[in-house]
Amino acid sequence: MSEKLIRITKFNISLNSILGTSFTDFYVYRSKGLMTHLLNRNHYISAKYIDNLAEIIEQPDYAGYNNGTIELVKEYKNNIFVCIKLDEKRNKHYVSTMFDIKSAKIESYVSSGRLVRIKQSDHA
């Protein structure tokens, strides 16, 4: 039995220049079980933002590409970190997890080069 996936939005390919990647158009999906995953891992804060996934993916404030995973952060009242992986069996990109992240941790990731701050004009 295969797990059902929900299509969220298209990946913003203008992020390729920031990520150092050359992705073509693709859709990002999430499993129907993502909410259960978040709650089981005590990611209660990020669970409140599950309906904001399209906005986070389309217009992140920070982006990075780490070990084959696209990492995006959007600043709301809480900073939300989203990981997108490729399911090679299905050849689909999906949200593997999301969690809240402190501003200090974001700055640490920026300093190390793991994340890059995005200006609004970078992904228009």
Q: Can you name the CATH fold of 5-117? A: YaeB-like fold (3.30.2310)
pLDDT for position 79: 98
Q: How many CB atoms lie within 10 A of CB 70?
A: 24
Tens of pLDDT, residue by residue over 20-60, are 999 888 999 999 999 999 999 999 999 999 999 999 999 99
pLDDT for position 3: 62
Q: What are 63's two structure tokens?
A: 């982006």
Local confidence band at 17 (pLDDT 50, 70, 90 cut-offs)? very high
What's phi and psi for 34, nearest 5 deg? -60, -45
pLDDT for position 42: 94
3-class SS letters over 62-97: EEEEECCEEEEEEECCCEEEEEEEEECCCCEEEEEE
What's phi and psi for 66, nearest 5 deg? -135, 120
The residue with tokens 């891992």 is 41
| Helix boundaries (H) for the chain | 16-19, 34-40, 44-47, 53-58, 103-112
pLDDT for position 1: 34
Mean pLDDT on 67-93: 92
The DSSP H or E segment spanning 7 is strand 5-10
Local confidence band at 82 (pLDDT 50, 70, 90 cut-offs)? very high
Local confidence band at 120 (pLDDT 50, 70, 90 cut-offs)? low
User: Cα 94 to the chain's mean position, in Å?
Assistant: 9
